[in-house]
Amino acid sequence: MGDWWYRNIIEPGKLPLLLALGAFVLTFLVTRMITRLIRAGKGPFRNISSGGTHIHHVVPGIILMTIGGFGGVASSSRGFGAFLSAVLFGAGAGLVLDEFALVLYLDDVYWSDRGRKSVEAVVVTFSVVLMMLCGLVPFGVNSVTPDEQQSRVSVILTIAVNFLFVLVALVKGKLRSAVVGVFVPFVALYAALRLARPDSLWAERLYSRRPGAVRRAEARAARHDARWSGPLRRLQDRIGGFTER
């Protein structure tokens, strides 16, 4: 176990990333627990206000992210300063992304259906960082052969093509596939070749004169949502407590 820890975490310099991820998850879970207790009227916790203005926890989150981010840039990658900065940044990110929906919609939608975007953002962020800890490199760089690494053109072309697939997947409204596709290019390619979701920018711009494509996109999205929306909502409810009172 000690040898694995050294080879996979310490030697490649991933300890700050691991500390940031741990602080991120712990802060998010503790914050959700506290907000659920406040909503239920239990425990010693209360909302914080100043001059009649409710202070959202995204505010201290931004402060912690700023301190941790600049501290991480200014410190060495293996010193105590780097570890402390990583923890501060991770904790700040946990607070900010717990209110991601507030930032996205510029409205207090924490407990509404739109507030589920916050939980989705946290899960996506956790997945991306975990894949980075496991050694996956974005945009297919880890699949480049040693010979290709000697050619800047090949490396740049690989990154550009894979980034294009990810971008198309995003424009087609397939956020999860795009995120996974950052590390597994085939997923982004598959999503880019499939029909766009009917509410996506791609469908709005390119399907407006193709009623057949719109019908197929709506039918496919309905089948997908019928299969996956139930389990996803239950997972979001379990994590975020949206159905509690």
* Per-residue confidence (pLDDT) for residue 47, from 0 to 100: 87
pLDDT (tens digit per residue) in 105-135: 889 999 988 888 899 889 989 988 998 888 7
Q: Which of 67, 61, 58 minimizes the C-alpha distance to 85? A: 67
* Neighbour tally for 115: CB within 10 Å: 22
* Per-residue confidence (pLDDT) for residue 244, from 0 to 100: 66
Cα→Cα distances 174→86, 126, 130, 192, 198, Å: 30, 18, 20, 9, 11
Contact 118, 99 (CB under 8 A): yes
**Furthest-apart CA pair in the chain: how many Å?**
63
pLDDT (tens digit per residue) in 152-183: 677 778 788 888 999 999 899 888 888 888 88
Tell me: pLDDT of 80 over 80. Answer: yes
Range with lowest mean pLDDT among 32-36, 89-93, 96-100, 195-199: 195-199
